[in-house]
Amino acid sequence: MTTSRPAPGGTELTLRADWPSYPHEVLAVVLSVRDGALRVLLWQREQPPFARRWALPGGSVNADERLRAAITRQLAAKVDVRELAHLEQLATHSAIDRDPRGRVLATAYLGIVPADVSPALPPDTAWQPVDHLPGTAFDHHYFVEAGVERLRAKLSYTNIGFALAPAEFTLSALRDTVSTALGYRVTPTNLARVMRRRDLIAPTGATTQSGRAGGRPAAVFRFRSRQLEVTDPFAVLKPPTACAPRATGTSVG
């Protein structure tokens, strides 16, 4: 059986009724460094399937809607995350049994919220540590793993640190943010050398106030660009090969 509908230019498109049609949903892997850990935004489901399990924010794609518009709408409606510093398409999962209610295709986006931004969240939503995830619904933990891997890879060859860090920061604060996101500690000297060699950061001219213990005030910096740019095709922020994660003194050069 076939049907027809008008197409641009005055012609008609022939539509086949036997073409498969599946629901398509969008999901958001929203990452942020806060409270000393890399965390992902999850909400706790109330209804089955997977009642009381934690899930990524998202929902269905309207028939007249593009994927990016759908995830933007879902985020704004469900978790009020309007201050994403970065958003990119991450992965599509099409396993036949990923949803027990029927076949549903899912496309996830990676979003990043700076550490100094605190979106308003409903009571059922929380920032969960990526290294100690609670029980998740469906196949959402795979999307989280993919988002963390994407972020950590891009910290090596892009300026994506701008999306994690506050608008202004000291080098030590940036080191802490990047180390937390990577999952291992980088040395401030080598991090500063990499950032300056790639011309990623610039001094603001401001300095911090000395603490109670005294010491020289620290210079305050900012990222030169807050748009994603490939800065080096070679990975330089790599974990140590012979050390456990978060080992101190790791070289990044």
Asked if residue 247 is part of any domain, the answer here is: no
Backbone angles phi, psi at 6, to 5 degrees: -60, 145
pLDDT level of residue 249 (50, 70, 90 thresholds): very low
In this predicted structure, the answer to whether residue 46 has a pLDDT above a threshold of 90 is yes
Gyration radius (Cα) of the chain, Å: 22
Give the residue numbers spanning the domain of 73.
24-154
Please check whether residue 197 lies inside any domain of the structure: no
**Residue 2: per-residue pLDDT:** 54
Flag whether 176 is in a domain: no
Tell me the pLDDT tens digit for each residue of 212-231: 565 689 999 999 999 999 99
Q: Summarize the confidence of residues 43-59 as an average pLDDT.
A: 96
* Domain-embedded: residue 232: no
The predicted structure's pLDDT at residue 248? 36
Asked if residue 62 belongs to a domain, the reply is yes
User: What is the rounded CA–CA span in Å between residue 110 and residue 143?
Assistant: 9
Q: Is residue 80 domain-resident?
A: yes
What is the C-alpha separation between 222 and 226, in angstroms, rounded?
9
Is 131 a member of any domain? yes
pLDDT at 251 over 50: no
pLDDT at 21 (0 to 100)? 81
Contact in structure between 220 and 212 (CB atoms under 8 Å): no
Residue 208 gets the label, from left (phi > 0), alpha (psi -120 to 50) or beta, of beta
Would you say 69 and 216 are in contact if contact means Cβ atoms under 8 Å apart? no
**Confidence band of 252 (pLDDT split at 50, 70, 90):** very low
Indicate the helix (H) or strand (E) that contains 25: strand 24-34
13 is a domain residue: no
pLDDT at 78: 76
Lowest mean pLDDT among 35-39, 77-81, 179-183, 196-200: 77-81
235 pLDDT band (50/70/90 cuts)? low
**pLDDT, tens digit, 9 for 90 and up, residues 178-208:** 999 999 999 888 898 889 889 999 999 999 9
> What confidence score (pLDDT) does residue 253 get?
33
User: Is it the case that residue 155 has pLDDT exceeding 50?
Assistant: yes
User: Domain with 36 in it: what CATH number?
Assistant: 3.90.79.10
Total number of domains constituting the chain: 1
